[in-house]
Amino acid sequence: MKKIVIALFALLIITELSAQSAQTEDFLYAIKDTDTLYLTKYECASAQRKIEGARPAVIFVFGGGFFTGSRNAEYFQDYITHLTEGGYTLFTIDYRLGLKKYYEAIDAEKIATGKAPKKSYVDFIKALKLSVDMAVEDLFSATAFILSRAQEWNIDTASIVVSGSSAGAITALQSEYYICNWRSGGKTQPWDEMVAILPENFNYAGVVSYAGAIMNIDSKLEWNTPSAPMALFHGDIDPTVPYNRIWVPMVGKLNGSKKVAESLDKAGTPYMFFTYNKQKHNIASEPMNSDLELLDFFLHKLVKEKKPLVVNSSINDLSIKKMSKRQAKRDAKKENEAYQSGEHSFGRGNKEKK
């Protein structure tokens, strides 16, 4: 009798833990060229039972410099757990790694000729732009796949948030920029065909960016139609994805979170912007584990309740030695020179650390 009681108690514990943990399913959402693209759906059944009606969702795009990374990487698993326990259905997606193909082509030419090909910064920035667009197209394809199954999965199509880390954050921000500037000024835009993958008038309910940026060629970063509310997290001395802006004449601009926030101010769009002073590219991942209360505030107030709020705040870690203005200027100059030469930390010799 005692053994039976113990066995039943153990079964109850296992059942309860199973109900609290995220349940996962993998789905093939697209095949593009030689790339087979999957997404993983995460749900916490016990948390979702507390929500009446259709449920909110988050699509997460991993980082890795557009040449490495995985939709199931370890560094954002706590982020997934936090959101699914809050009742969200969460999706992580594959996307084509354009810079991986760029580097593979360089390696192949080196093997064939015995020497590395000469590549300019312009060559690199063009490859980066193509990589970003490929990732955005795949994000749109994954979003369309999710929307097509929204009724089956009980997802509120008006409450889908897109989030990303580093390269994934660039993808998330760029996707919103393309949606809001579809046929900008009544003219056909290069990205219109990508946006057409989505249902007419669809937009994300919010965008969460951990060290992201937006690429554009125009003189100003502007929004033709109002964007979704955004949460921007960025270190102010990030050497990988610029906090402010990298600009190369006749090539284009990579607008970091500071410039994105300024553009949202001008457009009158609700947003939250957290500057982590004296912090580098670690902000692509650390706030996803340490500052989840900021994420919760954004999702509850700006996304769910649609409060017209702007939060622009600096976060200081007092354990980090204060940097002089002279050193900050030197670092900014070094960062810009690195981008001009193509030897910045998107390169393979400096893989992004999570």
Q: What is the pLDDT of residue 247?
A: 77
Q: Which amino acid is at 143?
A: T
> What does the alpha-carbon distance between residue 153 and residue 147 come to, in Å, rounded to a whole number?
9
Instruction: Confirm if 34 and 43 have CB atoms less than 8 A apart.
Output: no
What is this structure's pTM?
A: 0.87
Q: What is the pLDDT of residue 351?
A: 45
Q: What is the pLDDT of residue 252?
A: 75
**276 Cβ contact list (under 8 Å, min separation 6):** 233, 234, 235, 236, 283, 287, 314, 315, 317
Q: What is the pLDDT of residue 190?
A: 83
Q: What is the pLDDT of residue 50?
A: 80
The CATH architecture of the domain made up of 22-350 is: 3-Layer(aba) Sandwich (3.40)
Please list the ranges in the chain whose pLDDT falls under 50: 4-19, 340-343, 345, 349-354
Instruction: Confirm if 262 and 302 have CB atoms less than 8 A apart.
Output: no
Q: What is the pLDDT of residue 19?
A: 42
Q: And the tokens for 347?
A: 């390169």
Q: What is the pLDDT of residue 353?
A: 42
Sign of CA dihedral 170, 171, 172, 175: positive
Q: For the chain, what are the domain ranges?
A: 22-350
Instruction: Confirm if 204 and 162 have CB atoms less than 8 A apart.
Output: yes
